[in-house]
Structure 1
Amino acid sequence: MQGIANHFWYLYFALLLTACATPSELIHKQAISHDFMSQQLISKQFILISYFNKPFCIENKIHIYIPDDGAPWSTRNSIALDPNSRYSLLLDLMALDDTASQYLGRPCYHGQHQSEACHSLYWTYWRYSASVVDIMSSALRQQLAEHPDCKVTLIGYSGGGTLAMLIAPRLQHVKAVITIAGNLDIDAWSKLHTYSPLEGSLNPASLEPLPSHIRQLHLLGNADSNIPPTIVKLALQRQPEPQILYLENFTHQCCWKTIWSSVLKFIDQMDSTTQ
């Protein structure tokens, strides 16, 4: 009985510690569980937290994973004090990737929300702003300066897909963009959910198409009620030869890990045919 009681208290305190952990601490713990290494990147007075599995651009290839919006609002009308989510799908996907990969955190996320440079606008209305795009692009550009021949594939989930489309034309190294349930028309998305327009943000659907040399693959869940495929399909009509994969019974959160190994093989094939 004593052993059972001790086990109970161990589980109780373990759950209590998890409940008390901040979202950023939980994401860090998730990254470390995959044996990822962490790094702070300084870009335009902002600190971006990144995680990586191998040295940057080893074998002249790098997959850049750009996370979703997290939890920018605590309620429909209340801005979250800490925008980070408590779990990252992309970290789990990156754990399946044998290519050199980097998870690139956004400005003011991962425990940086209280830093002097940050304001809640950076994770609400300005989450896809020119400023955010410049900060993230600059962080990548600094790293790529030492790897002039590196081929970059941007991989974005949800709002990270938005940023992938916005960052891609700013970096000459980008050869491919992969979006997973990507929010590629933020105006249509806001109207669908009767959200306030994201004033100050850039909308990929309203900008020039990506250069034709950048390959595009967009993964959409047919059961995704957050970002329905119809919105994304319309947004992609002006893009040069985008490849779109519709996945039956996939929602916004489910079931991307089940196909990721196959997607990575497809990305490898794209790399082999890209000059």
Structure 2
Amino acid sequence: MIRLKQARQASICSAVILMAVVLVAGCASSTVGRYHTVQQEAATSGFAELRFGAAPPVVGMLRTPQNDGRLPHTTSSVLWVMIEGDGRAWLNMREPSQDPTPVDAVGWRLAQNISRRNVLYLARPCQFLSSAELQACSIDDWTGARFSEKWVTRLNVAIDEARHTTHADRIAIAGYSGGGVMASLIAARRNDVALLVTVAAPLDHAAWTVYHQVSPLTGSLDVLSVREKLMRLPQMHVTGADDQVVPTLLLKDFLRVYPNDAPAELVTLPGVDHRMRPVIDISRIRSSRLLSQSIDDLDIYP
């Protein structure tokens, strides 16, 4: 019994560490170094750096045909949005990080792999900021209140600005891990969403915290409260079969109440864990006939 309890505690600790994206090398580079890396990758992959709002700004990267000479200079009606995960929110089960910038920016990696004309990457609030800019944040902004009304509104406004810049008619909104929660909350309040995609996302974050026996996310909005609105949207939820941080069973529980004819798909990737290491183009994932029409209509990049 003692061994089982110790194993359970070890499992919980591992899950929290992974959710905070604290990877094996505990010698992660500084925020400045990590942001510099992202800037270099952006420059070589056709993304332009953007900052939305102030005190603190939301960091973004936008790729358009005008930025990237590899893409055809044609008008696109869809803006693809990828929202980053929670990043380095916690150092361990009891100690929050002082800077939520991700060590491994999985959402950024996914954004670069989207093979569409207009792609917006949004970091989560308080990520990739300087020490001075970070002073405008509080620890609640990346812990218990990471999905607060304030931040849902801020990211939603950033999407509006990018949509205006790209002249897009609709958006396909996606998010990795906690970014999938944010994407869902934003999608529920918009009328221009053509597709919602989540990747390894704890959509019912209350069930997720209970599953891992960690503190609830007080101060955060709940996707359950807008689930009926989401049911009408074409959506795809991608999960890794080996994900121990957000197990597939939690996604299945979230989707269980959806009607049979809801335009929703759950796609499980074999041999994939929470870090989503394989090269994944979320704009080209197929699972069945149900969503093929809506996906194929979304401005296929030649």
Q: Which TM-score tier does this pair reach, normalised by the shorter chain?
A: 0.7 to 0.9
1:198-252 deviations in Å (ceiling 9; x for gaps): 1011121343423454210011111111000111111122343411112222111
SS at match of 1:175: strand
Pair 1:61 & 2:78 matched: yes
Deviates more, 1:85-94 or 1:183-192: 85-94
Map of 2:177 onto structure 1: 158
2:241 touches 2:268 (CA, 8 Å); kept in 1?
yes
Identity over aligned pairs, percent: 23
Pair 1:227 & 2:246 matched: yes
Pair 1:32 & 2:43 matched: yes
**Cα distance in structure 1, aligned partners of 2:188 and 2:41:** 31
Aligned residues: 258
Structure 1 vs Structure 2 CA RMSD: 3.1
**Cα distance in structure 1, aligned partners of 2:214 and 2:142:** 15
Amino acid at match of 1:270: S
Pair 1:122 & 2:141 matched: yes
* Cα distance, 1:22 vs structure 2: 4.0
Pair 1:200 & 2:208 matched: no
Deviates more, 1:231-240 or 1:123-132: 231-240
5 Å matches for 1:1-275?
A: 19=29, 22-42=33-53, 45-54=55-64, 58-99=75-116, 100-111=118-129, 114-115=132-133, 116-145=135-164, 150-239=169-258, 240-258=262-280, 260=282, 262-263=284-285, 269-273=293-297
Distance 1:252 1:244, change over 3 A: same
Map of 1:12 onto structure 2: none
Unaligned runs of 5+ in 1: 1-17
Unaligned runs of 5+ in 2: 1-27, 67-73
1:31 touches 1:91 (CA, 8 Å); kept in 2?
no
Amino acid at match of 1:77: R
**Cα distance in structure 1, aligned partners of 2:286 and 2:126:** 29
* Cα distance, 1:151 vs structure 2: 1.4
Deviates more, 1:117-126 or 1:103-112: 103-112
* Cα distance, 1:273 vs structure 2: 4.6
Deviates more, 1:253-262 or 1:189-198: 253-262
Distance 1:192 1:81, change over 3 A: same
SS at match of 1:198: coil
* Cα distance, 1:141 vs structure 2: 2.2
Map of 2:70 onto structure 1: none
Distance 1:128 1:140, change over 3 A: same
Higher relative contact order (CA 8 A, sep 6+): 2
1:221 touches 1:251 (CA, 8 Å); kept in 2?
yes
1:71-93 deviations in Å (ceiling 9; x for gaps): 01122222211101123223333
2:202 touches 2:208 (CA, 8 Å); kept in 1?
yes
Distance 1:112 1:172, change over 3 A: farther
Deviates more, 1:203-212 or 1:58-67: 203-212
2:113 touches 2:280 (CA, 8 Å); kept in 1?
no
**Cα distance in structure 2, aligned partners of 1:129 and 1:243:** 27
1:175-197 deviations in Å (ceiling 9; x for gaps): 11011111111111111211111
